[in-house]
Structure 1
Amino acid sequence: MSNFKPLFTKKYDRTSNVDTPDSLYWKRLGVPTLVKEFGAIDYIDFRPNEPHFFAVTCSVRVQIYNPFTKLVVRNLSRFQENAYGGTFRQDGRLLAAGDQEGHVKLFDPSSKNVLRLFKAHTAPVHRVNFTSDLLNIISCSDDKTVRQWDIGAEKLIHTFTEHEDYVRAGAVNPMSPDIFISGGYDGKVKMYDARSKYISLEVDHGSPVESLLFIPTGSIFISAGSTEVRVWDALSGGRLLSVLSQHHKTVTCLRLGSNGKRVLSGGLDKHVKIYDVGTYETVHTIDFPNAVLSLGVAPNDQSIVTGMVDGMVSIQNMDTPTSENIHSTVRSHKQKMNSKKGDHEIAQYTRPVLLSYDNFLRKYEYGNCLDAVLKKSIVNKTPEVTVSIMQELIHRKGLERALAGRTHSSLYKILRFLCRYIGEHRFSRVLIDVSNILLDAYAESYHGFTDDLCKQFNHLANIVQAEVDLTYEMLEFQGALEMLVLASSVEKSSENIHFVTDSKLSILQSVKAKEASILNV
C-alpha cells in the first residue's frame, strides 16, 4: 500500500509585506540594546570623525557613549540645571550645549573642561549649532532670539529678534558659513545671512517647529512640526516641494542617513520613518517601545541611536559579515565540492511525519479534520492552513459531512472564522463556497439556534452585503473613470479634426489668392 502524501498547503502572497532593497538594508540593524538614563532624552549627536562616539543630552549632563561597548566614555556634568542640545563640532574636537540658565557652554570632550561660556540669553537655550567654517556658534533660545557667537573671541556677534515665540530648532547651511535657519513655536522658519544681519527668507510651516535639517547640497531644507515634515527649496524663494504626513503624532526630530541619501524622522507615535531624498517616499519604518524624542545616525549608518521620553536609549548597530561567517561559508562550500567529486551518497528514505489534520484526512475523518484546523493557534497565525483544508474537503465532496451534526459551539467557531476572513481577497472564493454549503446544511434548523448563533449568522450576512456594496461602488467608479478617459480621447480627436480643417482652409485661401494674382496679371 502506498504511503499517504501530506496535504499541500497553498501559499498566499501577502501584498503588504514586500521586501525592497531599503527594507532589507535597514533590517540588518541588530537587536537594540537599551540603556536607562535619568529623565527624557533631549538630544543625540554622533561624532563626525572616528571614533564615532555619540553624545546623549539628558537631565543635568551630557554623556558620551561608545556605540559598540555601550559604555560611557565621558561624562560632561558641568551644569547647574538641565542641559540641552549637546552637539559635536564638524571636526569632532569640541562640543557645545545649552542649558536651562540661558548659557551656551563649549567643552573639550577629551578633558571634560569648559573652554568657553557664552552669556546673553535670558531664557533656556535648547539648540546650538557650529557653522561650517568651525568659527562661530548659532544658539536658539526660549527668549525668542537667535544669537551668533564668535568662538575665538568669546563674544556675541549679532542677535536676531524676529521670532514671536520660543525658538526650539535650528540648522546651519553645510555649504555656506554665513547661512543658517531657525524654527519657532510661532510656526515660522527664518533663514538668516550673517553678512547682511537680516532675514533673507521666511516660510510658514503652519505649526510649532520642532526640528530643522539641511540637505547636504545646502539648497533644500526640511522642517518638522505637528504631524508633518515639509520640504522647502531655498533657491526658489522658499517654494514648498513636498509635505510628508506619515506620522500620526508630533514629529520631534530629523536626521540624515545613508550619507545624505535618506532622511529619518522620529515622533511621539513611537515610529521612525525613513524617506528617500530623491522621491520623498517612505521606504522603511522602525518601531520603538515608547515615544521618540531624539535620534542620532552614525556615518555610513553604522549605528542608529534613539532617545525616548521615558529615559531609555536604544542602540542598534548595523550587522556586517564577519570573518568567521565568511570562513564557515567557504568551508561548507569546499565540503560540498569534495563530496561531489569522490563520494556517492545514498539517500535514506524517511517516512514523513503527518500532522493531525493529515492523519484525519488519511482516515476519512472529515469532521475531526475540520476541528483540528479551527484551533486558535492555527486560525490566528496560519489561516491559510484552515482554508486549504476546507478547499480539500470541497474537492473530496466531504465538506457537507464535516459540517453536518455539529454543536452550537463548533458552529460558532466556523461562523467566526468566516466572518473574520471572508473579506480577504486571498480566501474569499473558497469561503464563499463554504458559506453556501453551511447555509444549505442548516437552513431548516435556523429557528432552533441560540441568540448568539443567530447574531453570528446575521453578522456574516451583513459582511457579505457590505462586500457586495463595495463591489458595486468600485464598478461605478471604474465606469466613471472609463467615461473620463473616453471623453478626453474624444476631445483630443476633435481638436485634431479642427486643426486639420483649419489647415485645409488656410491652404485653399492661399491657393485662391495666388489664382487671383495671376488673373490680375
Structure 2
Amino acid sequence: MSSVMEDPTLERQFKGHRDAVSSLDISPNRKQIASGSVDACVMIWSTRPQMRAYRFVGHKDAVTCVQFSPSGHLVASASRDKTVRLWVPSVKGESTVFRAHTGTVRSVSFSSDGQTLLTSSDDKSIKVWTVHRQKFLFSLNQHINWVRCARFSPDGRLIVSASDDKTVKLWDKTSRECIHSFCEHGGYVNHADFHPSGTCIAAACTDNTVKVWDIRTHKLLQHYPVHSATVNSLSFHPSGNYLITASSDSTLKILDLLEGRLLYTLHGHQGPASCVSFSRTGDSFASGGADEQVMLWRTNFDSVDYSEVLEQKGARDEKASVHRSCSQPSDTQVH
C-alpha cells in the first residue's frame, strides 16, 4: 500500500542577515516570513518569487525573538537592548518601541486574541502588556535565573515559561500564581510551548533532548533523546500530531507524536540551527541558523489539508488512524 507521506523539501533560501538568525515566524496568510538576527535587524521576506525583502532597523543590539500578531498586521520583536518593538510589516517599517525589562528581552509573544503581549527576560521576570498602547499589566517573578521563553496557552488562561534555573513553570494568568514547576535537572530549557490542544507542553533542552509533559497530571509523556547537541527551538504542527526541532547539531528533526518516534532528520543549515516554526496551516515551515540563512520548507509528509481540519477539529481522531500508515524514518539530505 502506498503511504501518504513524502519527504519535506527545501523550497527557498533567503540571504540578507549579516549574523546568526535568532528567531522567525511565518505570517498567518503565509505571504511573509519575519526573522530576527544578532545583526540587530528584523527582516520581512516575501514567500512569493521576485518580491523584495524589507530590512527593519531600530534595535540597538541583537534581536532575540520575532512573532506575527494573529491578524498578521503587526510583528513584535524583542532585543538585547531591553526593548520590545511593534512593527507594521510593510514598506515603511514603522515601529513603536517600549522599554520592557531591565535586562535582555529573550522572548515576546502574542495571546491568541491578539490583545496582550507576553515578554520574558534575563531580569528573571515575565511581564504581560496590552498590545494597544503597550500598557504594563502585571509580572510573574518566581524564576531565579534568566527566562528564555514564555508563551500563552491556546485559550489564553495559562502561561508556560522556561528558564536557566532549570525549571519550566506553568502559571495561571488570572490568579497570577505558579501552578507547577517541571524540574529539568538535565540542563537549561531554551524553548517551551503548548501543544495546540492545550493539554501538554514541550521543552527544548540543553541536554540535547525534547520532553513533553502533561499539564494536568504533570507526568512526563514523551522523551526524545534524538539530537547530539543543544535543542534550541521547537514548533508544534497545528494538527498537534508532529513536533519539529532545531538543534546546534545543525539538524532539524520531525517527531511523530502519535507514534512517539523520529520521522525525519533534515540537513539544511551549515552550523547550529537556531529556530524553526510551522506555518499556521502546517503546510510549510521555516528554519534559521548561525549560517545567517532563513530556509522555507514544504512539509509534504502530511497530505491532509489542515485548513479544513482546523475548522472542524472533530476530524482529529479520524486522522490519527491515517497517520499510523507512516513510512520509515528517513534521513533527508538537502544539498
Partner of 1:196 in structure 2? 175
Partner amino acid for 2:295?
S
SS at match of 1:90: coil
Q: Evaluate the alpha carbon distance shift between residue 319 and residue 180 of structure 1 in structure 2; reply closer, same or farther with a 3 A threshold.
A: closer
Q: Aligned match of 2:211 in 230, 239, 258? A: 230
Q: Evaluate the alpha carbon distance shift between residue 33 and residue 240 of structure 1 in structure 2; reply closer, same or farther with a 3 A threshold.
A: same
Partner amino acid for 2:162?
G
CA contact (8 A) 1:174 1:218 kept: yes
Give the drift of 1:297. Answer: 2.3
Q: Aligned match of 1:259 in 233, 239, 253? A: 239
2:330 matched to 1:313?
Answer: no
CA contact (8 A) 1:170 1:180 kept: yes
Between 105-114 and 206-215, report the one with greater CA deviation.
Answer: 105-114
2:262 matched to 1:274?
Answer: no
Q: Aligned match of 2:163 in 170, 173, 184? A: 184
Partner of 2:332 in structure 1? none
Partner of 2:113 in structure 1? 133
CA contact (8 A) 1:35 1:313 kept: yes
| RMSD, aligned CA | 2.3
Q: Evaluate the alpha carbon distance shift between residue 235 and residue 299 of structure 1 in structure 2; reply closer, same or farther with a 3 A threshold.
A: same
SS at match of 1:260: coil
Partner amino acid for 1:133?
D
Partner amino acid for 1:233?
D
CA contact (8 A) 2:160 2:194 kept: no
Give the drift of 1:261. Answer: 2.0
SS at match of 2:204: strand
Partner of 1:460 in structure 2? none
Contiguous gaps of at least 5 residues in structure 1: 1-18, 321-521
CA contact (8 A) 1:43 1:85 kept: yes
The C-alpha deviation readout for 1:453-502, integer Å capped at 9, x for no partner, is: xxxxxxxxxxxxxxxxxxxxxxxxxxxxxxxxxxxxxxxxxxxxxxxxxx
2:33 matched to 1:54?
Answer: yes
Q: Evaluate the alpha carbon distance shift between residue 181 and residue 84 of structure 1 in structure 2; reply closer, same or farther with a 3 A threshold.
A: same
> For residues 297 and 174 of structure 1, what CA distance do their matches in structure 2 show?
15
Q: Aligned match of 1:303 in 273, 284, 288? A: 284
Partner of 2:76 in structure 1? 96
Q: Evaluate the alpha carbon distance shift between residue 301 and residue 135 of structure 1 in structure 2; reply closer, same or farther with a 3 A threshold.
A: closer
Partner amino acid for 1:251?
V
CA contact (8 A) 1:140 1:146 kept: yes
Partner of 1:380 in structure 2? none
Partner of 1:147 in structure 2? 127
Between 286-295 and 263-272, report the one with greater CA deviation.
Answer: 286-295
* Mapping of residues 22-421 of structure 1, within 5 Å: 24-27=5-8, 29-30=9-10, 33=13, 35-48=15-28, 50-58=29-37, 59-69=39-49, 71-110=51-90, 111-115=92-96, 117-175=97-155, 177-206=156-185, 207-226=187-206, 227-236=208-217, 238-257=218-237, 259-288=239-268, 289-317=270-298
SS at match of 2:189: coil
Give the drift of 1:279. Answer: 2.7
> For residues 11 and 33 of structure 2, what CA distance do their matches in structure 1 show?
18
> For residues 300 and 15 of structure 2, what CA distance do their matches in structure 1 show?
20
Give the drift of 1:67. Answer: 2.2
More helix by share: 1
Give the drift of 1:282. Answer: 0.9
> For residues 173 and 98 of structure 2, what CA distance do their matches in structure 1 show?
19
CA contact (8 A) 2:255 2:263 kept: yes
> For residues 280 and 100 of structure 2, what CA distance do their matches in structure 1 show?
34
The C-alpha deviation readout for 1:238-260, integer Å capped at 9, x for no partner, is: 21111110001100110123633
Give the drift of 1:32. Answer: 5.1
Contiguous gaps of at least 5 residues in structure 2: 302-335
> For residues 171 and 280 of structure 1, what CA distance do their matches in structure 2 show?
24
> For residues 159 and 198 of structure 2, what CA distance do their matches in structure 1 show?
10
Give the drift of 1:73. Answer: 3.6
SS at match of 2:239: helix
The C-alpha deviation readout for 1:156-203, integer Å capped at 9, x for no partner, is: 11111111111112221012x231111001110111112112111211
Partner amino acid for 1:218?
G
More strand by share: 2
SS at match of 2:47: coil
Between 202-211 and 38-47, report the one with greater CA deviation.
Answer: 202-211
Indicate the percent of aligned positions where both proteins have the same amino acid: 22
SS at match of 2:77: strand
> For residues 14 and 81 of structure 2, what CA distance do their matches in structure 1 show?
30
In the superposition, the TM-score normalised over structure 1's length comes to 0.54
> For residues 147 and 191 of structure 1, what CA distance do their matches in structure 2 show?
14
Larger Rg: 1
CA contact (8 A) 2:65 2:107 kept: yes
CA contact (8 A) 1:231 1:243 kept: yes
In the superposition, the TM-score normalised over structure 2's length comes to 0.82
Give the drift of 1:21. Answer: 3.9
